[in-house]
């Protein structure tokens, strides 16, 4: 029996790269399978990714304010963009108010879009960022602002288990319910575990995240690919024009669906990627061995890369010290723990709140 057959649900995903959209894939699939009338909305790369993943669905366009991280790192780039960030939240809120007034909505699910809530509609925020890593002097103010944003929602749903992949990022003392519902990965049905003897001597590069740091890393990695003589699968994480010189041993893709990417994750011996949380949840589905390169100045990714290395789950290299030859010559005895996804728990909570 489809338990959401008469429910109208709005799901929105943040457009900071494609990570937030990617982790919503299993949730979208499950909600649709339960018969709900699902409205999906995002903007930019995230919207393009979702449209590619669900070509038969109409993905609504949300207000756009693309964050750029700058060449000097995230902190220096984000400070002057704070007014635009607050403006984005207000624009999202007006967009949601207008949509709800025109279309009956029973539940709003927002992946890290703080403006996507409604006072008269149960609203949920999906996030693992409840304890933002920030300089000591700035942290009290950041915590206060974050609390004011999340308190607009009825509940927080964390895509992790307690003391799991996100480490201290999920620590909190919030006044609203915080539910740990388990990891969300677009590969949530994967049951295989990588076996060393079956891996191909192949490198998989997975790029993602806002510009210009995505392009900076793309150029840095590409410049070192000539040094290695193994096959490379290079997934750019964008559909912008590719301006690098062709290399015969490298296959280049812009964006890949989960079905297209899965064989490469299963078979590649070497993986290079950012340390974004959504990427880590994907790696954990395959017990992958990976080199994590955090976005410079992005405190969350820098923490996660160090945390995973300390757990012996992966290797960590700062972007300015990236050395592909050094990585490939390592023993590669690190791998992510297999943490099963629990989509049924997510659907149970959706059913409960949509009947609220």
pLDDT attached to residue 71: 52
pTM given for the model: 0.89
Q: Which pLDDT does position 330 carry in this prediction? A: 80
Please compute the mean of the pLDDT values over residues 133-153 and round it to a whole number: 89
Percent of the chain with pLDDT over 90: 65
Q: How many CB atoms lie within 10 A of CB 113?
A: 27
CA distances from 80 to 4, 165, 184, 225 (A): 43, 31, 32, 35
The span from the CA of 224 to the CA of 41, in Å, is: 38
Over 70: is that where the pLDDT of 161 sits?
Answer: yes
Average pLDDT for 4-23: 92
CA angle 177, 182, 187 (to 5 degrees): 140
Q: H or E stretch including 204? A: strand 200-206
Contact 59, 41 (CB under 8 A): yes
Tell me the HSE value of 135 on the side-chain side, using a 13 A CA sphere.
Answer: 6
Place of tokens 């559909």: 239
Q: Give one DSSP letter per residue of 326-347, joined into a string.
A: HHHTS------------HHHHH
Q: Is 272 helix (H, G, I), strand (E, B) or coil?
A: strand
Per DSSP bridges, beta strands 315-316 and 232-235 are unpaired
pLDDT of 193 higher than 90: no
Domains recognised in the chain with CATH numbers: 8-184+341-354 (3.40.50.2000), 196-328 (3.40.50.2000)
Chain-centre distance of CA 231, in angstroms? 27
Mean pLDDT for 41-61 is: 94
pLDDT over threshold 50, residue 84: yes
């Amino acid at each position: 029996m489809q338990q959401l057959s008469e429910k109208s649900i709005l799901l929105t995903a943040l457009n900071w790269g494609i990570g937030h959209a990617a982790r919503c894939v299993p949730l979208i699939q499950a909600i649709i399978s339960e018969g709900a009338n699902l409205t999906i909305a995002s903007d930019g790369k995230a919207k393009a990714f979702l449209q590619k993943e669900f070509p038969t669905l109409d993905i609504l366009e949300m207000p756009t304010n693309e964050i750029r991280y700058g060449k000097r790192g995230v902190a220096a780039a984000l400070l002057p963009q704070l007014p635009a960030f607050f403006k984005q939240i207000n624009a999202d809120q007006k967009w949601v108010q207008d949509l709800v007034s025109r279309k009956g909505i029973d539940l709003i699910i927002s992946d890290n879009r703080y403006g996507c809530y409604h006072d008269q509609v149960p609203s949920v925020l999906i996030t693992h960022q409840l304890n933002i890593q920030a300089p000591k002097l700035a942290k009290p103010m950041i915590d206060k602002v974050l609390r004011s944003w999340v308190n607009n929602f009825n509940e927080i749903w964390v895509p992790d288990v307690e003391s799991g992949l996100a480490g201290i990022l999920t620590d909190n003392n919030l006044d609203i319910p915080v539910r740990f519902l388990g990891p969300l990965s677009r590969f949530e049905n994967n049951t295989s575990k990588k076996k060393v003897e079956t891996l191909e001597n192949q490198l998989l590069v997975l790029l993602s995240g806002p510009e210009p740091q995505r392009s900076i890393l793309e150029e840095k990695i590409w410049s070192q690919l000539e040094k290695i003589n193994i096959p490379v699968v290079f997934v750019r994480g964008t559909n912008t024009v590719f301006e690098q010189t062709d290399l015969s041993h490298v296959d280049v893709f812009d964006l890949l669906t989960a079905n297209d990417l899965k064989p490469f994750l299963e078979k590649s011996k070497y993986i290079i990627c950012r340390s974004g949380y959504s990427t880590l949840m994907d790696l954990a589905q395959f017990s992958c061995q990976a080199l994590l390169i955090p976005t410079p100045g992005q405190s969350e990714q820098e923490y996660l890369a160090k945390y995973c290395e300390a757990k012996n789950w992966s290797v960590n290299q700062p972007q300015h010290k990236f050395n592909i030859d050094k990585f490939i010559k390592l023993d590669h005895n690190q791998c992510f723990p297999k943490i099963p996804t629990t989509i049924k728990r997510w659907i149970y909570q959706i059913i409960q709140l949509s009947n609220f």
